[in-house]
Amino acid sequence: MAEAHNVDHDYHIIDPSPWPFIGSVGALVTALGGVAYMRWHTGNDFSVGSVNLANPWLLLVGLAIVLYTMYGWWSDTVKEAHAGDHTKVVSMHLRYGMLLFIASEVMFFVAWFWAFFDASLFPGEVHQVLRTEFTGGQWPPAGMEVLDPLHLPLFNTVILLLSGTTVTWAHHALLHNDRGTLKFMLFLTVALGVLFSAVQAYEYVHAPFAFKDSIYGATFFMATGFHGFHVLVGTIFLIVCLIRAMMDHFTPKQHFGFEAAAWYWHFVDVVWLFLFFAIYIWGSWGATFAH
């Protein structure tokens, strides 16, 4: 009977977990909370039955549940790795999962690029009267001042390219079991990520246009804003990796968590390069720069 329970395959069958259910509840509460917050912000009601849910707290509760799910689920994954459950086959499937996630993120940004190019390449189509009215038949819209791409945007581009170099250096150090260089380069990557977010926040505050001013502002802030959110997520990802590196969680042969963070960070780098050349440089060609 004992032999019947021996594991003779490379797959890890996880124990029953509450996290998929808890995560689904958190997602539902967050979605309802987002609607409730927007209704509350505009001074309207959001009634479910006889209860008015128009308030900001439901959204915060939903986000708290989602964040708690992330912490608990990924903590279990780390424990499984330390227990030796992440065999070569399991690690390969984890990598496939991360690649598919990044592919879905690519398509997410394709939507924002599509919106931008749809508006910028055809700003004055005759049969689209409203579009012509919004743009003045040109791109950027007539009379609009835009950001100088060779000022803060170029500075942020250099920052992200440097951060891509430091995270690759950290990975190289990990493969050679150089713990000191691994921690230092990870710290530099995190610092550069924080600096990028700070510069972008400063740029947003001083932008000569607003989200609601024009279709230019809407497409600009949606595309660059979501990228900024991904930089924030990637920075948190790298901070977790830095903490784990200090706790000696990673080995040269087993460090998928770090690889996933590095892949995600390089994805953020590449998206920014497309944003920089498409929106900041090409999208502002011929316009007046704000100083």
Q: Decide if pLDDT at 4 tops 50.
A: no
168 exposure class (CB count in 10 Å sphere: 0-12, 13-18, 19+): middle
Using CA atoms of 283, 286, 288, 289 in order, give the dihedral in degrees to the nearest 10: 50
Q: Give the tokens for residue 282.
A: 């090409």
Last residue of a domain, one of 85, 104, 136: 85
91, 161: one domain = yes
280, 257: one domain = yes
Q: Does residue 22 belong to any structural domain of this protein?
A: yes
* Structural domains of the chain, count: 2
Q: Are 183 and 173 contacting, i.e. CB atoms less than 8 angstroms apart?
A: no
**pLDDT per position as a tens digit, 221-267:** 999 999 999 999 999 999 999 999 999 999 998 899 999 999 999 99
**pLDDT per position as a tens digit, 111-121:** 999 989 988 88
pTM of the predicted protein model: 0.87
72, 102: one domain = no
Assign 48 to helix, strand or coil.
strand
Can you tell me the distance from the alpha carbon of 73 to that of 264, in angstroms, rounded to the nearest whole number?
A: 19
Q: Decide if pLDDT at 129 tops 60.
A: no
For residue 116, what is the domain's CATH number?
1.20.120.80
Q: For 96-163, where are the E strands, in sequence order? A: 145-146
179, 239: one domain = yes
Can you tell me the distance from the alpha carbon of 291 to that of 283, in angstroms, rounded to the nearest whole number?
A: 18
112, 136: one domain = yes
Last residue of a domain, one of 66, 85, 104: 85
Q: What is the extent of the structural domain holding 172?
A: 87-289
